[in-house]
Chains A and B, each alone.
Chain A
Amino acid sequence: MVDSRKYIIAFVITTVIFGTAIFVSNLLNQKKLEDVRSIENRVALDILSSETQFALLEETSCRDIGPGFLSKELGSLGEKLSYAENQTEFNTEDIEYLKRFYFLLEIKDYLLMKRLTKKCSIEPTFILYFYSTKDACEDCERVGYVLTALRDKYPDLRVYSFDYHFDVEAINTLVSIYKVKPDLPALIINGETYYGFHSVEELEEIVPSLKELIIRAKAV
């Protein structure tokens, strides 16, 4: 005769351990999402502040724009979102919402950067990067490594990465403005579109102003 009491006790204890694991995991994952959300809010505020500052530019000069003019957190925000996206535990809807917000922030930051470079006659130091999460794209992964390495090397370089297939109207508009084909990865540098893999050295050649970034950073 099987003593079912022991099975019930074992089942209850196992369920409690299981439940605790699920609870702790959810709690920490929620905390991570809140972390991303608060960075997004900070970036949004930074952009608003920069836009306001930019609007005032009419009355000030380019010299008044310090190195902290644009938000510093966009890069780390992207890294965190890309990590969270690869984890199965996060709520897909939450991640999609945060991604949408992130892409829009990127575009706003990009527009601001573009206006700034034009107004102040600065050499552009930003890259638009289109990748795919829908199809297997090995080169996207490799280009991702290259861009991260470049950003590590040139902290002032602004890389705006966009999921080509993500359903955001503003991304579709960017795609049609630059006529980006679905032949990914694609990089847009100084209005030129480059497809496929490019090494760190190749990109340094393509964006000569990168070198200036270091000089500028040292001067500051």
Chain B
Amino acid sequence: MDIQTLLLYISLFIALFFEVFLLITYLEVYDELSFEEKHIGTNIEKFPSVTIIVPCLNEERTIQKTLKSLLHLDYPKDKLSIITVDDGSTDGTLRKLNGFKKHPQISVLSKKNGGKHTALNLALEKINSDLVGCLDADSFVNPETLRKIIPFFDDPSVMAVTPSIKVHEPKSILQYAQKIEYSWGIFLRRMLSSIGALYVTPGPFSIFRTRVFKELGDYRHGHHTEDMELALRMQKNHYKIVNSHMAHVYTSTPAQLPALYKQRVRWTYGFLNNAIDYREMFFNKKYGHIGMFILPIATSSIFSTLYIIGKVFWANLMRVYDFFVRIQTIGFDLDISRLSFDWFFFNTGIVPFLTLSVTMLSLLLLYLAIKLAEGKVRFSKGILYYLVFYVFIVPLWLTKAVLNTIFKKQISWR
């Protein structure tokens, strides 16, 4: 067996193993999920005080809607305060923020541009509530979102709760595809939550105990992914992070490919570089599932995805090349009567069967993911877009992020 075939087998085995692992986890937490869906947030006895920080940089189009969604949260007014921080916007964001200045729940801060983590840290200095959260200025919450998060803090060991992030009003093909991708993300985060292996506390509406920042320090730059850095720092210090899949947050997603590409390069680059910074967690029993399994597999999946897609792409390119050579040699002669469907010529190798198994399991998991995120499954164009386009576009940002990491090239936020 040559090294390429061996690599392919290993990649497929790992992919299959991860899918089976997720499926087992899903079956394990099935009752828990049903309970959360029916009862979570319906009977809160004690409402802790909460501060939500909204960092903004040139968000004049969405900031008002974001703040209004926060003000509509079904939560005691005296227990909820909002701090907005303008991080040196050059558009009308600050003007829009000042319009809310008189609101008793909202305070407005303004500073020179220094990056999202500096804006969050400025607000953290002023906080003395029990809990603190962040909401990106392009995201919106449902009235019940906070109520679906608070009960998780009844467990004193829980230090942070992450929400389910959904796509806000998809319009473009890419946004419909992202909607399905986000459903997959909701499923994955809920599964990772149950094994204590969440490695991101997303910018849109992750809620922390305020003491987390007092004990572990402020937000850091984290290679432009401060939410990933903070989560890994918490995991390293054995601070428990859980996910509430019923707490829905809606975020504006890139409508066009260049913006999506840039965002995903940043995410992947951030993951790889934070993984390097926290490399001592890898294969370290002390960190449980996240150290022994999730971080290694998340890192290796970037490379195996590139390898598998690269290989499939190359094989198909060769097939197209052969087809053209054939046409060039003997001309185009499609005689259906000569086409034979002899099973002999179907590829019955091991790889096609393994690929089929991985694909079937992926589709099953996608079905479960959409069911978990949307409550029901119906075939939508988003599924088609996701299945068709993502295969082609994911390698683009993975490659760029890997290259930037190898050559230590910085990336930009926008």
Measured CB to CB, the residues of A under 8 A from B are 1-2, 6-7, 9-11, 13-14, 17-18, 20-22, 24-25, 28-29, 32, 35, 80, 83, 87-89, 138, 141-142, 145-146, 149, 152, 199-200
Contacts and interface: CB of A to CB of B under 8 A. Distances in A.
A1 B348 contact: no
Contact of B292 (A2, A29, A80): A2
A89 B2 CA distance: 12
Contact of A21 (B292, B344, B354): B354
Interface residues of B, number: 32
A89 B348 contact: yes
Given A141-B325, A142-B325, A145-B326, A10 B21 contact: yes
Given A11-B17, A28-B348, A17 B24 contact: no
Nearest to B353: A21
Contacts of A17: 16, 20, 354, 357
Contacts of B333: 149
Contacts of B330: 145-146, 149, 199-200
Nearest to A199: B329
B345 interface: yes
B349 interface: yes
A145 B24 contact: no
Contact of B17 (A14, A83, A87, A145): A14
Nearest to A26: B350
Main DSSP-derived SS at the B contact region? helix
8 contacts: A22-B353, A25-B350, A32-B348, A88-B349, A145-B326, A149-B330, A152-B335, A152-B338
Contact of B353 (A6, A25, A200): A25
A35 B344 CA distance: 9
A16 to B, nearest CB: 10
Nearest 9 pairs of A and B residues by beta carbon: A21-B353, A28-B348, A89-B349, A149-B330, A10-B21, A14-B17, A25-B350, A142-B329, A10-B20
B43 interface: no
A127 to B, nearest CB: 16
B13 A1 contact: no
B5 A88 contact: yes
B285 interface: yes
Nearest to B322: A141
The residue among A13, A35, A80, A152 with the most chain B CB atoms within 10 A of its own CB is A13
A20 B360 CA distance: 15
Given A21-B350, A146-B330, A32 B325 contact: no
A115 to B, nearest CB: 31
A1 B349 contact: no
B288 interface: yes
Contact of B350 (A13, A89, A152, A199): A89
Contacts of B353: 20-22, 24-25
